[in-house]
Structure 1
């Protein structure tokens, strides 16, 4: 296959339109209530089932949801195969560092109910898990990730501060009953100024005990907690965390994750806010829609709020047990229309582009590949020798060295995922 298969001079880099994959997980939004569903329908021309859950729209080369190059002549081939046949499209830096494959995976998520309490393994643990349980952990890569809110977006992320943890242990008797008062007192008696490591170990002990107790104990504790909060709701306004507990218990009755949620930060993002999650950090997305980008992996270790396979021992042993609120990214303006979100990970960064009617912008050529997705509106995307009409649901691959001009006669919103520019420019 020639380097360029869909028109233009084969010696010049061109945009490739992609047909992309969808994941129908139970936590996804249903039918046309899901942005993932509408994007997938427009991208692939597939009829949407209005009773089906549409959770994730994938753009990349991962084996669990590979994109396909839309050749326009019936001669379609997977993006991964096309890249292997045309490795120059990745650029030397990417090939030298990650081999002949796309190092990141871009997604759109439509979250209808809470995802599992989970963490993603670091590189060493990912390799071990894939080797020992390949049917569960499908690849050997780590999975740092970042979410950019498209709508108001809620998540649990990281453990609450030591001060907040003290309050929880003093005011939620149901947790003390489960883990034991002696364990709770470990936390409450730690000197906060000299006992950070000791407090981390005490937190790990409490969390591990909580996640490991018998189902009967959890069911009894949750029954008490829900009854107590239901009665207190008649007398006072519940906190957002208490309201969340009642919501989670309805979604996942008798699940230990409902109690565990009290130990995590409840984060609320506005559209345009970003949240990044490193390896071994606990989190759970709760509600809303977002752009998500990550290293090219699908490794997830779960321990609550899910009907899927859980691995409590691995999760409890792998976590960092760092406490405090996560950093919220606001993006750095690149120009009037583009904001860049750069997490502390090598594999990826994301640009958000919002064009007004009649506006245009240039994405400069980079020494690495990019993937674009159009979220709303329509317009044109042009390289030096070719122009493509694009609209909602279009996904495109841009080879290394491609300068892309975007213009619109309506409003247009798109996102670009690429390798972290710090790695590309300072290999």
Structure 2
């Protein structure tokens, strides 16, 4: 049986979200009653999409996993999101496959228990991420060269920032983070205060988090502003934070996160120090690849997900589209699969089961298609490879 499953998708109301973006996308009154941060499209147990009028997508997958996902997949390995970032997210790192397995087993046996806010490992999967900029999208990702970071700290002035600069020069980014992790609580406001007069994004962070050494950690990172149509990949073990903008994000469907600052949530700096890759390097900007018919691939070296942008010209034809999801972000799209026909308007989405044959998409809109590339992920979601398309 051929199916296209229309979805109702949950919104996550985190305090860094916008009151305009998602409400406007979904045609609701603007501003919304409170901040709306993420629109989730997928089968994540924390907030699964619902099949319109027919229960949750997660329940449907559990009842018929082979038909919905294909043989050997077991769980939907990706989560597709629309991000509406109006204030900085936390500095965070996600584990790689081996770290996720070990960390989850340790916390399962020794705690904290499931549901505890101090828990870091909620499953045994890694969590690579890719974000596509819908508007200008500002992010921090990976460590800057040591000399550049130290020079900026010294330029900003202040004895405390000079001490951090010395730690960077002598011990690299890890040395600086170890120093900041142990910075005396009574002196943290003065430390952050030395950033206050710097202006721009640095000053905004310092005003929002006046007692958080994570403000200084942020100065050690690469700042990148994506223009609409650009995309950024964040590997496991890469420290990053999103600062402002609207984006489409796709990630492995995992909850594992180690936070390093810029948040009221639990921060486990010792574990973050163990998980993080401290090698300085440039942010990984994704080079798009045209696939024909108006579909463009944003390739990532993972087996959990694949993201493409669709602007039919005149039609996007996909021979094997499932399992996947299709989101319309602008205009309208006509989606056909066998005898099934669906019209998607802005903010609407479909789930595309594994079984059912080829997909054809037409219309004047812009959409995003999430899929599982080249077969299912391996055990524990491993499968991170190398890019071949980055400059």
**What's the TM-score bracket when you normalise by the shorter of the two chains?**
0.7 to 0.9
SS in 1 for 2:310: strand
- Is the alpha carbon distance of 1:293 and 1:20 closer, same or farther for their aligned partners in structure 2, counting shifts above 3 Å? same
More helix by share: 1
1:413 matches 2:371: no
| Partner secondary structure for residue 131 of structure 2 | strand
Is 1:16 aligned with 2:8? no
Aligned pair count reads: 367
Q: Does 1:361 align with 2:345?
A: no
| 2:345 counterpart residue number | 391
Gaps of 5+ in 1: 1-9, 188-201, 230-241
2:118 is aligned with 1:157: no
State the Cα distance separating 1:106 from its structure 2 match. Answer: 0.6
Q: CA deviation at 1:77?
A: 1.7
CA contact under 8 A between 1:272 and 1:330: conserved in structure 2?
no
Matched residue, 1:334: 291
Q: Which has the larger radius of gyration?
A: 1
Contact 1:169/1:176 (<8 A) preserved: no
Query: 1:377 matched to which residue of 2?
Result: 331
What's the CA shift for 1:26? 0.4
Residue 55 of structure 2, aligned match among 77, 82, 87: 77
Q: Give the aligned partner of residue 389 of structure 2.
A: none
**How do residues 90-239 of structure 1 correspond to structure 2 at under 5 angstroms?**
90-92=68-70, 95-96=71-72, 98-99=73-74, 101-127=75-101, 128-129=103-104, 130-131=107-108, 132-133=111-112, 134-135=114-115, 136-137=119-120, 138-174=122-158, 176-177=160-161, 179=163, 183-186=167-170, 202-227=172-197, 229=198
Q: 1:28 and 1:91, CA in 2 relative to 1: closer, same or farther beyond 3 A?
A: closer
Give the conservation status (yes or no) of the 8 Å contact 1:156–1:267. Answer: yes
Q: 1:121 to 1:179 in 2, by over 3 A?
A: farther
Contact 2:161 2:194 in 1 (8 A): no
How many Å apart are 1:170 and its aligned residue?
4.1
TM-score (norm 2): 0.86
Deviations 1:81-108 (A, max 9, x none): 111222223454xx42x42x10111110
Q: Distance in 1 between matches of 2:165 and 2:87?
A: 33
Identify the residue that residue 64 of structure 2 maps to in structure 1: 86
Partner of 2:24: 38
Contact 1:152 1:270 in 2 (8 A): yes
Post-superposition Cα deviations, 1:184-242, rounded to whole Å, max 9, x if no partner, equal 5515xxxxxxxxxxxxxx33122221133123222112223324x3xxxxxxxxxxxx5
Give the match's secondary structure for 2:194.
helix
Q: Distance in 2 between matches of 1:278 and 1:79?
A: 28
Matched, 1:28 2:17: yes
**Cα distance, 1:335 vs structure 2:** 1.3
Structure 1 CA distance for aligned equivalents of residues 159 and 373 of structure 2: 42
Residues of 2 paired with 1:175 and 1:212: CA distance? 17
Cα distance change on mapping 1:412 and 1:206 into 2, 3 Å: same
Task: Pick closer, same or farther for the CA change 1:49–1:313 going to 2, 3 Å.
Answer: same
Q: Runs of at least 4 residues of structure 1 off by over 6 A?
A: 46-49
- 2:283 and 2:164 map into 1 onto residues whose CA distance is 29
CA contact (8 A) 2:8 2:51 kept: yes
**SS class of match (2:15):** coil
CA distance 1:391–1:180, change in 2 (3 Å) = closer
Q: TM-score, structure 1 length as denominator?
A: 0.79
8 Å CA contact 1:60, 1:66 repeated in 2: yes
